Amino acid sequence: MTLASFKSALPRDALASIVVFLVALPLCMGIAIASGMPPAKGLITGIIGGLVVGWIAGSPLQVSGPAAGLAVLVFELVRTHGIAMLGPILLLAGLLQLVAGRLRLGCWFRVTAPAVVYGMLAGIGILILLSQFHVMFDVKPQASGLDNLMAFPATLSQAIPGLGGGSALAAALLGFGTITCMFLWDKLRPQSLRFLPGALIGVTLMTAVSLWLGLGVARVEVPANLSDAIDWIQPADLFNLANPQIILAAVVLAFIASAETLLSAAAVDRMHNGPRSNLDRELSAQGVGNMLCGVLGALPMTGVIVRSSANVQAGARTRLSTIFHGAWLLAFVMVLPAVLQSIPVACLGGVLVYTGFKLVDIKAIRGLGRYGRAPVFIYAATALGIVTVDLLTGVLIGFALTLLKLAGKASRLKVSLNELGPDEAELRLTGSATFLKVPHLASVLEGIAPTTRLHVPLDKLSYVDHACMELLDDWGRAAEQQGGALLIERHGLTRRLEGRALNMRRAMA
């Protein structure tokens, strides 16, 4: 970057960084609470995402930090393995991301079927909604989505005068007030104030109300000194990385974080006309950031679309806006921790309930519906698996259904036998002849007299594999011994394959 371009971009980047900081502040703390971690852990991740990852990122305008999409996974990891093991898991996950980026595997993370991705986000959104509903009542959430759903009556009873006790009703009113403010601000905010995020407006107003009325609700616990929130990774915990369950957790975390990051980077590229993202460099940068978060005992990070879109819409030109937003987070936490300590936890729960609801994207379902019922079914099955079992199971269900769908498409073969005359016939094959269709093709060949001269044109085939060709050749050898013949016409298929190869070479040129 030249000095002149730096000076021209600096004012817009500085303004955009303030907007991103205002968006990131409540989200960092809210996502930490949803993950079962102290709010300061989310702030540390946001600071690293700005100051470190922002500097080396391959997507200059993408903002990195704690992501709602990982909150469910982190909550489960902490519940299963304890907070102390999150650091080693995150360290290994970051190392895997760094290696994947250096091996130029970034583009492969975008191969994931959209139905699985949208289903994963929807499932995570539902789980966040179910768990943070309890947080809005100052009630501790349950371990699973179904448990949270079953606990709704008990939580609601806490807010009924005479049945419950404590601050549940006041907390609930603050949480729902935050959601109402966010909704109305998104719908009615004036054009001149569009840069202000609804989450900040809602949290600020409801915090002011709670202080004015002196409500005795649970409030955010942030240490006066940020260094007190750092839990350095312990060398003894690294020996647990030999545990297969820990390795699997790190692989799952690395995959989901990478997929969310790179899908977000692709979305950010569509929002502006500046430099395109280098996915491999972005993946490596995320790996470095997550390794640092693991060492410091913070939350995992990804590239996040909400903060990134706010960055672009605020007019950011370079990576300076992302770096500055991390600096504002650090300065605010160090100088004004008392302000954070006055925020009701229920307000942050309301922010996450609203965020979880928006993750269930109805437009995405409609878009998938244009491609048939199968993508919508995969979407629903993935989300349902995540909600009823766990995140890994839901994603694996989505991948399995996608592979079954591809196998079904790849095995579509229409076989028709036409009589051309005495002892002469044509076997017409249309579609894709794979090993999955060998039984059907074999049954048709068994019904053809071995004295027949059988013509098999391949011009209507998009693909034929070795298993089907070997089956045809076996029938032909047997037929020759009894006066028949097999005449395979390959020219049509050859011309089609050559034409495709030529088109690919032209496209690459």
* Span 141-199, pLDDT tens digits: 887 888 899 999 999 988 887 665 568 899 999 999 999 999 999 888 888 777 778 88
Flag whether pLDDT at 3 surpasses 80. Answer: no
Structure-model confidence comparison of residues 97 and 373, the more confident one: 97
Residue 307 sits at the vertex; the CA angle it makes with 304 and 309, to the nearest 5 degrees, is 95
Which residues does 382 contact at the CB level (< 8 Å), separation at least 6? 115, 116, 119, 120, 122, 123, 394, 395, 397, 398, 401
What three-state secondary structure class fits 422? coil
DSSP H helical ranges for 214-361: 235-238, 244-269, 279-296, 305-313, 320-335, 337-341, 345-359
* DSSP summary character for residue 417: E
The confidence score (pLDDT) of residue 126 equals 92
Which residues does 492 contact at the CB level (< 8 Å), separation at least 6? 457, 458, 459, 460
Is this prediction's pTM over 0.85? Answer: no
Confidence band, pLDDT 50/70/90 cuts, at residue 5: low
Mean of the per-residue pLDDT values for the chain?
87
Q: How many CB atoms lie within 10 A of CB 185?
A: 19
The confidence score (pLDDT) of residue 164 equals 59
Q: What is the mean pLDDT of residues 232-250?
A: 91
Helix axes 279-296, 83-102, angle to 10 degrees: 160
Domain 412-489, second-level architecture? 2-Layer Sandwich (3.30)
Flag whether pLDDT at 508 surpasses 70. Answer: no
Flag whether pLDDT at 140 surpasses 80. Answer: yes
Find out whether 343 and 25 touch, Cβ atoms under 8 Å: no
Structure-model confidence comparison of residues 160 and 59, the more confident one: 59
- What are the pLDDT digits (tens) for 341-357? 999 999 999 998 998 88
The confidence score (pLDDT) of residue 361 equals 82
The confidence score (pLDDT) of residue 413 equals 86
CA 276 to chain centroid: 20
Residue 229 sits at the vertex; the CA angle it makes with 76 and 210, to the nearest 5 degrees, is 85
Least-confidence region, from 285-294, 391-400, 487-496: 487-496
CA-to-CA dists, residue 224 to 29, 126, 221, angstroms: 15, 34, 9
CA 222 to chain centroid: 29
- What are the pLDDT digits (tens) for 209-238? 999 999 989 999 888 888 899 999 998 889
Q: What distance in Å separates the CA atoms of residue 94 and residue 37, rounded to the nearest whole number?
A: 19
Q: What is the mean pLDDT of residues 56-70?
A: 92
Find out whether 353 and 136 touch, Cβ atoms under 8 Å: yes
Flag whether pLDDT at 403 surpasses 90. Answer: no
The confidence score (pLDDT) of residue 243 equals 92
- What are the pLDDT digits (tens) for 249-277? 999 999 989 988 988 888 788 788 888 89
The confidence score (pLDDT) of residue 185 equals 92
Least-confidence region, from 24-38, 378-392, 495-509: 495-509
Flag whether pLDDT at 427 surpasses 80. Answer: yes
What three-state secondary structure class fits 386? helix
The confidence score (pLDDT) of residue 495 equals 46
Q: What distance in Å separates the CA atoms of residue 416 and residue 323, rounded to the nearest whole number?
A: 65
Q: What distance in Å separates the CA atoms of residue 81 and residue 391, rounded to the nearest whole number?
A: 16
The confidence score (pLDDT) of residue 498 equals 43
Q: What is the mean pLDDT of residues 305-317?
A: 85
Q: What percent of the chain has pLDDT over 70?
A: 93
Residues of the chain with CATH 3.30.750.24: 412-489
Flag whether pLDDT at 503 surpasses 60. Answer: no
Q: What distance in Å separates the CA atoms of residue 485 and residue 69, rounded to the nearest whole number?
A: 61
In sequence order, what are the beta bridge partners of 485?
453
Q: What distance in Å separates the CA atoms of residue 50 and residue 46, rounded to the nearest whole number?
A: 6
Q: What distance in Å separates the CA atoms of residue 30 and residue 83, rounded to the nearest whole number?
A: 18
Four-CA torsion 99, 104, 107, 108, nearest 10 degrees: -60
* Residue 259, burial from CB neighbour count under 10 angstroms (0-12, 13-18, 19+): buried
